[in-house]
Structure 1
C-alpha cells in the first residue's frame, strides 16, 4: 500500500508543451466566445427581410460590406410577435456589442441598398441603415505571425539536423553542437563481448590483453618506472576483426568505453571537430580510467597538405591538430588509452604515428588455416548442422578469407539449406556457399550457343591442363562451364598459402593463367575476347615482377614501389623514358615467354586436352578425380604437403567471362573479389 501511495503522490512532470497548448486554447476560446455562437441569431433571406421591413419589425440594418452580409436588429414590439419567437430570447455573449437577430447574405450591394431604400420610402419607415466593416482578429494575427513562426521553426529544425539530431543529448541541440558524439558503453550491461568471442588473432589479442592489464593494475607497471602507453593502432585488411577486438577490450577491461567513428568529428561548421575532440577527452579524463575507441581514424588522420588535386581541408586538419595535442597532453597517470582502427595506415599523418601518441601498432592480418578453423567454430555455434562437420576441411577450402567472409559463408550456407527445404545444414551447403560467394550465383538458364559453349569448355580445359602439368601452379580441384555471376565458366584451385613467392612460382602461375587463350589457339587456331581478365592478371603480375619485386635481370635490383602511396597523386614517373621503354619490353617478353610455354604444354598433351574438354561438355562440372583418370597423378603432388592434404574441395575460381575473363587465386582474393 505504501508503494501505491508513493506512486499516486508523484507530481506530473512539467512540459513546455503545456504552455503552448494553454495559449492555443485561450485564443480559440476567445474567438469562439467573441463570436455569435452563443446568440440566437438566425440566417434569413432577402425576401423575408423585405417582408419584415414592410411590417415595421426592423429597427436597424447594419450592412457589412467586406463580408457581403447584413445584420438585422428588430424592434422591441417585433420581438413579442410569434413569428420571431425563435430569436426573441436574450442571447449570451461576452461581447458588449449588440447581437443581431437575423443575418442576411446578399448579392449585389447596390441592388440590396436600393431595394431597402425603396421599401423605406414607400412605407415611410425610420429604419436605420448603416454600413460597416468587420475584421477577423485571429485570422489577421495568424496571417501576420505565421510566416515568422514557420521561418523560426524551419531554422530550428535545420540546426538540429546539422548538429546531429534532436533530443537533449550531447550534440542534439544547437548550443551543444561542439559536444562529443561518442557513445559511452556501460561496462556492466552494454559490453558483453569478451576475448572468448574473438577467434584467432592470437598475437593481436596478446597485445590488447596487456592494454587491459594496464587499466586494471596500473601500479604493477608504474611501480617499476614504466609509463602506460597512450594509444594503440589496429591495422589490417577489411573484415579481419579490428572493431570486434576493440569491443572485446571494452568487455574485458570493465572500464568506461567511448566509441565513435572518425567521421563523427566532421561537421559543416568551422571548429566543431576540434571542439568535439576536446569534449571527448575531457569526458574520458573525468571517468578515468577509460578507453577511447576511434574507428576508421583515417577520416580525420590523413597526412596534412599532401592532396595535390583538391587541396587540404583546413577543418579536417584543425581536428587532427587538436587530436595530436590531446594525445600528447595527457599526464602519464591519467589512465586514458586511445584505441584506433584503420585499413589505410599508409595515409595517416606521421605525427599521429610517432611514439608518444600511438605507441603501438597492432597488425591484424588475414587468418591462417588454424585461425580459420577457430573462426568457423565461433560462427557455427548458432548454425543447426546435420552432421559433425570437418572444420579442418572447411578451413582448407577458404584460403584468403577474412573473418567477415567466413561469417558470410556460414550465413549463406544456412540460407542455401533453407532454400532447399532442408531441416539442417550439411557439408555440401557450405561448399555451395563458398562457390556462391567467390563466383556468384549459378545461371543455368543463360543462353549460350553451342560454338560458344565449346570454346568455353576448351578454354577452361586449357587452364586445367596447364596447371596440372606445372609444378608450382595451384592444383586444380573443380572445373565448370555452368555460368556463374558474370562469368561463363570457372576453374577452382586450392593454392598453397605462401609467405614468400619465388620467380619460378610466379611464372608457373602466369603460364597457367594464359592456358585458356593458348588452348583456343591450339584447338581452333583462333583467339577471343574471353581472356581479357586473364591478360589483366598476368600483366599486373609481370609488371610487379619487373617494377616492384626486382625479379628482372635487365632492370636489376630496383623497385619503383612507394609504400606511402604518394606517387599516385603525381604526374611524373620515378624513372626515365628509356627505363619506361625497357620496362614495357621486359613485361611483354615475360608474358610472351609464358604464352609460348603454355602452347607447348598443350600441344604435347593435345589428346588429353580434347578428352577433358569433351567430358566437360558432357558433364558441365568435373572434379579432381576426372583429371587423375585422364592425366594420372600429378608428378609434383608428393612434394607439396598442402596439396596432399586437400583431398577434395574447392576454392579459387578461374572464371570465364564474355568479354571479360577473371582468374582468381585465394592468395589474391582480396584484390579480385570485387571484380568477380
Structure 2
C-alpha cells in the first residue's frame, strides 16, 4: 500500500510558478472582455442616425466622453419598443444593467455639441446632455503597478541566472548556494568503467577493492572486530590513473558514489565552502553506505597558515576545518568512506593526513614495463591494427610513460595512420607517434645554412660518442639532425629504470649531456648557444648532487631539501652566505670537470666522431646499428643484464630525448 501511495503522490501535478503567470493573464483578458462592448447591449452608430433619433424623441440622455471623442446614447423606454431599435433592445447586458444602447464617435466636439443643441431647440426636446471622462480602473492600476512588476521580474530573472538557472534542488536557487555540488552515481547509474579497465596498479587496486568489498559485505570484517576505514588518499604523479581508479570504484561499488572536485567548495561568498561540506556529508550519511570522492583535494587541503600574511580569516581554511570536523565525526557504523586524489601530497595539512581521517595513503606510481604492457592492452582495444602488435616491444619503447601518455600514444598513432590514408594502424605508426609526442613535429622545410647544419651534426655526434663510450650513460639508440619541435637536432636514449642512483652514474650522464658542446670545441674550437637545454639539465643535476642528495665531499652529508614543503614560501635560505658561495663553487667544479672529461673522450675518438657526423649529414637520421658499425659493441656487461630483464635496447625509442641545439636565442 505504501508503494501505491507513493505512486499516487508522484503522479500528482507539481506546483509550477508559471501557473501564477497564467492566472494573471486570464484575469487581464477577463477584464478586457468585461469592459468591452461585445459583452453588453451597446451598438455602434453614426452622427446622422443620432440626429434622426433625436428628432424622433427616442434619446433620453447623451453622455459625451471628452477625452475619447465619443458619446454614449441612452434611449427612452418607449424607444426600446420600436422596431428600429430591436437589435439593441434584445441584447442581454453582461454584468452591466445600466449600459448605453448606442455608442457614437465624432470628430470635432464643438460642432457635435452645436448640432445637438440646434436639434433640441428646433424640436423642443428635453434630452439630457452630460459631459464626463472615461476612466478605466484596470488600465490605471496596470499603469501604476507596471514599473514594480518589471523590477520584480528582472530581479527574479537575475537571481535565477546567478544561481545557475533551474528550479528546485541544490544550486537551483540563490538560497541553495550552500548546497553540495557533488554528482551522485547510484547503483542504478550506468557507469562503464570497472576494475577491468584499470591496467596495472595492482597494489592500489587491491586496497581499493577491499574498500568496495567492505561496503558490500561489512559483516565479513566487523565480525572480527574490524572497523571501516574512514578515508583513502590516492597519491601519485599526473596521468598515472588516480581519477580512473576512482571511476572504477564508482562502477564497481553497489552503493551511492558522490563525486566532485576540490574547487567545487570554493565560492566568492563567505561560509559557502563549509556549508557545502556539511551538506555533502549529510547527504552521504542519509544514503549510507556511500563513498565520497574528492578529486584534486589540494585545492582545499593545503596546510593552514601558509601565505596568510594579512592575518585575515581565510575562507579556504574554514572549508578545510569543516572537512576535518566531518571526517573525524563519523560514527563506527555510518559506513561512509572518503576517497581523495592529489599529486601534491607534500602541501596537504598534517591534520588531514593523520590516521582516523585518511587512514590509508595509496601511492600510484609510474608503471613499469609489465604494467605498461597491460595499459597498452586496454588502450589498443578500440584501435584497428593491421597486424598483431608486439606489446612487449611497445612497452620497451616507452619507459617513464604514464598511463595518460600511453593513451596519447595510441590515439596519436591512429591519427597518423588516418593522415596517411591507411585502413589500419601499423607498428611504424606507433613508433612515429612516440617520436611525435616526445620530440615534436618534424620541420623538414626549416631553412638551415650548411654551416649550421654541420655544427648541429657534430653536436649530436658528440652526444652519441660520449654516451656510447661511458659505462653508466644512457645508451643512445637514435640521432637526427632534422629539426623537431623547438630543437634543431635530437637524440633518443633508453635510460635504465633505476630505483637509486650512484654518483658515478650521475657524473657519466652529465658528461654525455655536455658531449655536444665539447664536440663543437674539439672540432671547431668554438662554442655556440645550441647547448642551452644541455646546460640547464647539467646545472640542475649538479645542484641536486650538492644541495639535495649530499653527494659532494666538500659540503658533506647535508641536504637543504624540505620534503614537507613547509619552507617553500620562506624568504631566507637554509644556509649562510658563506655556504651559498661554497655551493656555487662546487657546482661549477662538477660541471667543468665533466666538460673537460667529455673533451678528452672526444679527442681520443675524434676520427670516429668525424665519421659519425659525416654519416649524419648524409642520412640525417641514424640508429643504433650505425653506431655499432663505427664504434663496435659497447664494452659493458650491463647491457646483457638489461636484456635479461626485458629492458634491452631496441631499434627505436622515445624514452628520453635530448632537445639540445635549441633555436631559442640567448639574450
Which string of whole-angstrom CA distances, capped at 9 and with x for unpartnered residues, describes residues 14-69 of structure 1? Answer: 4422332232133144336635788999999xxx999999999999896766xxx7
Q: Report deviation, 1:193.
A: 3.2
CA separation of 1:355 and 1:62: change in aligned 2, threshold 3 A: same
Aligned to 2:432: 432
Structure 2 residue matching 1:569: 3-state secondary structure: coil
User: Which residues in structure 2 correspond to 1:383-402 (within 5 Å)?
Assistant: 383-402=383-402
Structure 1 residue matching 2:233: 3-state secondary structure: strand
Q: Report deviation, 1:188.
A: 4.6
User: Which residues in structure 2 correspond to 1:89-128 (within 5 Å)?
Assistant: none
Which string of whole-angstrom CA distances, capped at 9 and with x for unpartnered residues, describes residues 204-230 of structure 1? Answer: 122223323433443333333333322
Aligned to 1:583: 583
CA separation of 1:118 and 1:481: change in aligned 2, threshold 3 A: farther
Aligned to 2:239: 239
- Confirm whether residue 653 of structure 1 aligns to residue 662 of structure 2: no
Aligned to 2:28: 27
Q: Report deviation, 1:262.
A: 1.9
- Confirm whether residue 411 of structure 1 aligns to residue 411 of structure 2: yes
Distance across 2 between alignment mates of 1:507 and 1:102: 111
Equivalent pair of 1:194/1:247 in contact (CA under 8 Å) = yes
Q: Report deviation, 1:387.
A: 0.8
Aligned to 2:482: 482
Structure 2 residue matching 1:259: 3-state secondary structure: strand
Range that drifts further, 505-514 or 280-289: 280-289
User: Which residues in structure 2 correspond to 1:520-531 (within 5 Å)?
Assistant: 520-531=520-531
Aligned to 2:345: 345
Q: Report deviation, 1:334.
A: 3.0
Aligned to 1:82: none
- Confirm whether residue 546 of structure 1 aligns to residue 546 of structure 2: yes
Aligned to 1:154: 157
Which string of whole-angstrom CA distances, capped at 9 and with x for unpartnered residues, describes residues 556-592 of structure 1? Answer: 1100001122322011000000000001111111111
CA separation of 1:624 and 1:63: change in aligned 2, threshold 3 A: farther
User: Which residues in structure 2 correspond to 1:254-653 (within 5 Å)?
Assistant: 254-308=254-308, 314-636=314-636, 639=639, 641-642=641-642, 645-651=648-654, 652-653=656-657
Aligned to 2:166: 166
User: What count of residue pairs does the alignment treat as equivalent?
Assistant: 641
Distance across 1 between alignment mates of 2:103 and 2:90: 10
Which string of whole-angstrom CA distances, capped at 9 and with x for unpartnered residues, describes residues 638-662 of structure 1? Answer: 5453367223111121124544499
Q: Report deviation, 1:598.
A: 1.9
Structure 2 residue matching 1:258: 3-state secondary structure: strand
Equivalent pair of 1:616/1:622 in contact (CA under 8 Å) = yes
Structure 1 residue matching 2:659: 3-state secondary structure: strand
Equivalent pair of 1:36/1:99 in contact (CA under 8 Å) = no
Q: Report deviation, 1:187.
A: 2.6
Distance across 2 between alignment mates of 1:98 and 1:529: 103
Q: Report deviation, 1:509.
A: 1.3
Distance across 1 between alignment mates of 2:659 and 2:42: 89
Structure 2 residue matching 1:232: 3-state secondary structure: strand
CA separation of 1:43 and 1:370: change in aligned 2, threshold 3 A: farther
Equivalent pair of 1:263/1:300 in contact (CA under 8 Å) = yes
CA separation of 1:336 and 1:124: change in aligned 2, threshold 3 A: closer
- Confirm whether residue 144 of structure 1 aligns to residue 147 of structure 2: yes
Aligned to 2:193: 193
Structure 2 residue matching 1:487: 3-state secondary structure: coil
Equivalent pair of 1:655/1:661 in contact (CA under 8 Å) = no
Aligned to 1:666: none
Distance across 2 between alignment mates of 1:94 and 1:525: 112
Equivalent pair of 1:612/1:627 in contact (CA under 8 Å) = yes
Range that drifts further, 519-528 or 489-498: 519-528
Range that drifts further, 623-632 or 379-388: 623-632
Distance across 1 between alignment mates of 2:88 and 2:615: 105
Which string of whole-angstrom CA distances, capped at 9 and with x for unpartnered residues, describes residues 373-400 of structure 1? Answer: 1111111111111111111111111111
Equivalent pair of 1:91/1:99 in contact (CA under 8 Å) = no
Distance across 2 between alignment mates of 1:564 and 1:518: 39
Equivalent pair of 2:43/2:101 in contact (CA under 8 Å) = no
Range that drifts further, 578-587 or 32-41: 32-41
Structure 1 residue matching 2:653: 3-state secondary structure: coil
Distance across 2 between alignment mates of 1:203 and 1:587: 40
Distance across 2 between alignment mates of 1:91 and 1:102: 20
Aligned to 1:248: 248
Distance across 2 between alignment mates of 1:113 and 1:283: 75
TM-score (norm 2): 0.84
Distance across 2 between alignment mates of 1:624 and 1:43: 106
Which string of whole-angstrom CA distances, capped at 9 and with x for unpartnered residues, describes residues 300-324 of structure 1? Answer: 2111112245767632222222222
CA separation of 1:565 and 1:130: change in aligned 2, threshold 3 A: same
Distance across 2 between alignment mates of 1:478 and 1:413: 20
Range that drifts further, 624-633 or 234-243: 624-633
Distance across 1 between alignment mates of 2:503 and 2:193: 45
Equivalent pair of 2:483/2:489 in contact (CA under 8 Å) = yes
Distance across 1 between alignment mates of 2:340 and 2:402: 20
Which string of whole-angstrom CA distances, capped at 9 and with x for unpartnered residues, describes residues 418-437 of structure 1? Answer: 12111111111111111122
Range that drifts further, 240-249 or 521-530: 521-530
Q: Mind listing any 5+ residue stretches in structure 1 that lack a counterpart? A: 1-6, 77-85, 107-111, 663-676
Equivalent pair of 1:199/1:371 in contact (CA under 8 Å) = yes
Q: Report deviation, 1:124.
A: 11
CA separation of 1:25 and 1:490: change in aligned 2, threshold 3 A: farther
Distance across 2 between alignment mates of 1:560 and 1:427: 47
CA separation of 1:167 and 1:134: change in aligned 2, threshold 3 A: closer
Equivalent pair of 1:443/1:485 in contact (CA under 8 Å) = yes
Q: Report deviation, 1:547.
A: 0.3
CA separation of 1:14 and 1:319: change in aligned 2, threshold 3 A: closer
Q: Report deviation, 1:231.
A: 1.6
Q: Mind listing any 5+ residue stretches in structure 2 that lack a counterpart? A: 1-6, 76-86, 122-126
CA separation of 1:55 and 1:28: change in aligned 2, threshold 3 A: closer
Distance across 2 between alignment mates of 1:182 and 1:226: 29
Q: Report deviation, 1:235.
A: 0.8
CA separation of 1:133 and 1:457: change in aligned 2, threshold 3 A: farther
Equivalent pair of 1:306/1:312 in contact (CA under 8 Å) = no
Distance across 2 between alignment mates of 1:550 and 1:458: 35
